[in-house]
Amino acid sequence: MPLYVFNWEKGMMSMTIRPFILDGNEVAANIKALVEGDVKKLIAGGIIPCLATILVGDDPASATYVRMKANACKRLGIQSVRIELPGETTTEQLIREIQQLNENPGVHGILLQHPVPHHIDERAAFDAISIEKDVDGVTTQGFAQNAFGFAAFPSCTPAAIIAILDHYRLPVLGKHAVVIGRSPILGKPVSAMLLNKDATVTTCHSKTVNLEEFVRAADIVVAAVGKPRFVKGDWVKPGAVVLDAGYNPGNIGDVDYEACLPHVSAITPVPAGVGPVTIATLLKHTVAAAMKAQGY
């Protein structure tokens, strides 16, 4: 909502935009409340929804995220099986683990934590996950189906970004959305999902020339670069909506939040923005996979 205030420096009334803080915890709570009913239904029928998480190597940040996901499952009555593999695991060994989980009828969803150690073929490992259990939306098939608008589980962070836009009824149709980043489970799928919601989408990346100029033209900015405070305040068009999908060490986003705040109409903070919605989305997909497996 624009707000006119007296600007003493300019000696006149001028408009400042009161930014709306998009509350990821509120959106996540809303999603989890909707999922709870289905969890009860499954448990009443003797089925415990179950997510298997796979962590390869001992990166402490990845271990923290996987633990957060497992804890979130537990709080909602979803079982979680945590598989931890040594950093020396080969692609073949990892794929065999995934195949066992594919064949295990007690497991409804599989999450392979990204990134895996460099010597592993991550794409081959992701694609070993069966489409029915790809609750994290990482398979080639899942990506393609989602991009074409079919019923596959989308990647969780892109779905979280869309859920935030939907929850706060922020218009997307006809808007110019600028996505910074083109990774297979974030920038690329969120670009496709915004396109499917009738935005005009520009995907920027490390080779983009004059990246700031694209951001300056954006009605919606999605930051998914993995560089702390990358998006500067003076890049943001007055009144733009800014979604920060960054999760840099120390809980620092990809957006210079304080600097952008005076310019935006709405913005997600880090923490308590996209992150919690990502986890809620993972739970939602896991329970939906279990419901489908049970023929609901």
Distance in angstroms (rounded) separating the CA atoms of residues 93 and 281: 29
Mode of pairing for the β-strands spanning 266-267 and 20-21 = parallel
Residue 93 annotated as catalytic: no
- Annotated catalytic residue, options 23, 32, 113, 256: 113
The single residue among 270, 283, 287, 290 that binds ligand GUE, judged by CB under 6 A, is 270
Residue 32 annotated as catalytic: no
The single residue among 65, 153, 214, 257 that binds ligand GUE, judged by CB under 6 A, is 65
- Annotated catalytic residue, options 23, 32, 134, 136: 136
Nearer to ligand GUE, 189 or 276 (CB): 276
Token readout for 259 is 């600097």
**Residue 46 labelled as part of a binding site:** no
Residue 294 annotated as catalytic: no
Token readout for 98 is 């995934």
Q: Is 278 in the site for ligand GUE (CB under 6 A)?
A: yes
Q: Which stretch binds ligand GUE (CB under 6 A): 106-114, 164-172, 173-181, 204-212?
A: 106-114
Neighbours of 226 (CB within 10 A): 16
Peptide bond into 271 cis (omega under 30): yes
Size of the site for ligand GUE (CB under 6 A): 18
The single residue among 47, 51, 112, 290 that binds ligand GUE, judged by CB under 6 A, is 112
**Per residue in 9-45, is it b (16+ CB within 10 Å) or e — as a string?**
eeeeeeeebebeebbbeebbeebbeebeebbeebeee
In DSSP terms, which residues pair with 82 in a beta bridge? 53
Q: Is 82 in the site for ligand GUE (CB under 6 A)?
A: no
Q: Which residues in 230-259 contact ligand GUE (CB under 6 A)? A: 247, 251
In DSSP terms, which residues pair with 6 in a beta bridge? 13
Q: Is 146 in the site for ligand GUE (CB under 6 A)?
A: no
3-state secondary structure at position 246: coil
Distance in angstroms (rounded) separating the CA atoms of residues 242 and 256: 11
State which residue has the least CB distance to ligand GUE: 275
Question: Which residues of the shown chain bind ligand GUE in the complex (CB under 6 A)?
Answer: 65, 111-114, 136, 138, 156-157, 247, 251, 270-272, 275-276, 278-279
The catalytic site residues sit at 69, 113, 136
